A = this chain, B = another copy of it.
Amino acid sequence: MTRSWWGWGTVEEAVTGAELEALLGRVRMLAPRDLTGHEPPDVSALGLLAPRVSAPTALADLCSADPADRAGHAHGKAFRDVVRNLHGDLRHVPDLVARPRRERDLVDLLDWCARDGIAAIPYGGGSSVVGGIEPRFDDDRAAVTIDLGRLDRVLEIDPVSRAARIQAGVFGPRLEDQLRPSGLTLRHFPQSFEFSTLGGWLATRAGGHYATLRTHIDDLVESMRVVTPSGINESRRLPGSGAGPSPDRLFLGSEGALGVITEAWMRLQERPRWRATASVHFADHAAAVAATRAVAQSGLHPANCRLLDSAEALVNAGVAVGGGVLILGFESADHPVGTSLDRAEELCRDHGGEIRAGAAGESTGDTWRSSFLRMPYQRDALARHSVIAETFETACTWDRYEDLHHAVTQAARVAVRKVTGQDGVVTCRFTHVYPDGPAPYFGVYAPGRWGSTVAQWDEIKAAVSEAITGNGGTITHHHAVGRDHRPWYDIQRPDPFAAALTAAKAALDPAGILNPGVLVPAP
């Protein structure tokens, strides 16, 4: 399998043939003006600027100046990244890609960057959708992207405490492969699982498999080891502590701006043996939301509790239903979960839900799940055919949800019409739910104009981000801030905390080399 330099995943998995035809057939509903397919440019023809720095001799064999390598590390995997790649628009490319073999190499690389004022961008799987790993700065300093892919081992497993010491550069599948013989699993499955790393999950506070309880990778961390320009920060393996503010919580979500995560002790669990799932159809969306809230507040802790609105259900699960579909799943390694599902179904029926249990129920969930994993590939195919196709997310308290949903949907529709002159499709699902609120995740699909889809999307994104920020939402629930979310993050984040974070960064990274411009203004 060959990783795509310009788009999601591997070249071999790209959408082609009948799948492409079916996809384009659905897109014709949107009445696009032009569905011409555009080929990605040849990476050798991009004419990248020559590297402006060269590595010291001792570090030379860690560093690559190969154009395909540099191009492949320039952007994340957002719609705007993929489209810019398709247009060969690689204005901001790392000068070098460095691949440390061990922590000592990383320390040496950071020392060199600090000495020479070179930006250092920590890089895991490169699946950022927020401009988090793009060497786009306020100034024209050189950049070395530090790809942690060689630090990919599970170093130690503690079967008694059910935890493992794991290197940060490991990708999801290889991580689970190494845990499998022990019978344990991390069970953190973000949509990007196949092409993202433990370190990336930690640095961005990724949302994973679980719809309730331990939704973020944060909750699975026992301790972390972080290389900072001011020294190595290693926290103690602890199941809980009340000793001062949590050191790990400073580095969780630090997006490479405070240090480079090299290892973590992660909490594991046994593989589930019992499962129970159902789909619930609702005629009315407000009732579907109320039912979902009742389940979220019940203390039943479903592993899956994903509400698809009618558009999402139609587009991605092939189900026509007026108010939405709630996909429920329970799982346990210790005990049967049927009574929990029974009670959740009862709560749904109390709100007018119609249970599609067993085979039919699983089928909706399964259809949706396989569609879920194909989504990024389909997005790429759509991008090649001038279709704007992108997602964004938030979280808010239940009392704000109706207003937020309305405002965001309206803002998206108005912006789509403004920038394309046509109507698009706006979908919404809950990826996670909490007793005090849901995490809604929106999709926007609209006919674009080749050469303009990035600018068109940026305008839509600005409009929905205003609506989110103005209606009590967070600018991101599990996608990080990066460079693209900064304007709204700066509004959301309290000013004294910004000052504290800036001061903490200055203490940890006095030369200001780590991922400049992410989280706080570059010094």
Contacts and interface: CB of A to CB of B under 8 A. Distances in A.
Given A161-B399, A235-B497, 14 more contacts: A160-B397, A204-B242, A233-B494, A239-B396, A239-B435, A240-B434, A244-B493, A244-B519, A245-B519, A270-B297, A339-B339, A501-B504, A503-B507, A504-B504
Nearest to A254: B245
A230 to B, nearest CB: 5
Nearest to A477: B242
A233 to B, nearest CB: 4
A489 B244 contact: yes
A35 interface: no
Given A254-B245, A492-B236, A508-B499, A300 B335 contact: yes
Interface stretch (A174-182, A314-322, A479-487): A479-487
Contacts of A254: 244-245
Interface in A321-351: 332-335, 339, 343
Contacts of A366: none
A413 interface: no
A476 B243 contact: yes
A238 B160 CA distance: 35
A478 interface: yes
Contacts of A399: 158, 160-161
Given A245-B251, A299-B334, A397-B163, A496 B231 contact: yes
A298 interface: yes
Nearest to A347: B334
Contact of A335 (B233, B267, B298): B298
B497 A247 contact: yes
The 6 closest A-B pairs by CB, nearest first: A239-B437, A239-B434, A249-B249, A500-B504, A503-B507, A241-B474
A432 B238 CA distance: 13
A356 interface: no
A206 B241 CA distance: 10
Contacts of A216: 240, 242
A466 B517 CA distance: 42
A301 B301 contact: yes
Interface string A363-385: 00000000000000000000000
A175 B473 CA distance: 28
A243 B249 CA distance: 12
A9 B216 CA distance: 40
B242 A476 contact: yes
Interface of A: 158, 160-163, 204-207, 213, 215-216, 222, 226, 228, 230-247, 249-255, 258-259, 267, 269-270, 293, 297-301, 332-335, 339, 343, 395-399, 432, 434-439, 472-481, 485, 489, 492-497, 499-504, 506-508, 519
A401 to B, nearest CB: 9
11 contacts: A158-B397, A160-B399, A216-B242, A233-B495, A238-B396, A240-B395, A241-B474, A243-B485, A244-B519, A245-B250, A503-B504
B492 A243 contact: yes
Given A162-B435, A238-B396, A253-B245, A343 B339 contact: no
Contact of A161 (B251, B298, B436): B436
Contacts of A245: 249-254, 258, 501, 519
A233 B161 contact: no
Given A230-B499, A496-B232, A242 B479 contact: yes
Contacts of A396: 238-239
A230 B496 contact: yes
Given A160-B398, A269-B435, A250 B500 contact: yes
A244 B398 contact: no
Interface centre among A160, A161, A244, A496 (most CB of B within 10 A): A244
A243 B475 contact: yes
Contact of A242 (B332, B438, B472, B478): B478
A228 B298 contact: no
Given A437-B161, A497-B233, A240 B432 contact: yes
Contacts of A332: 299
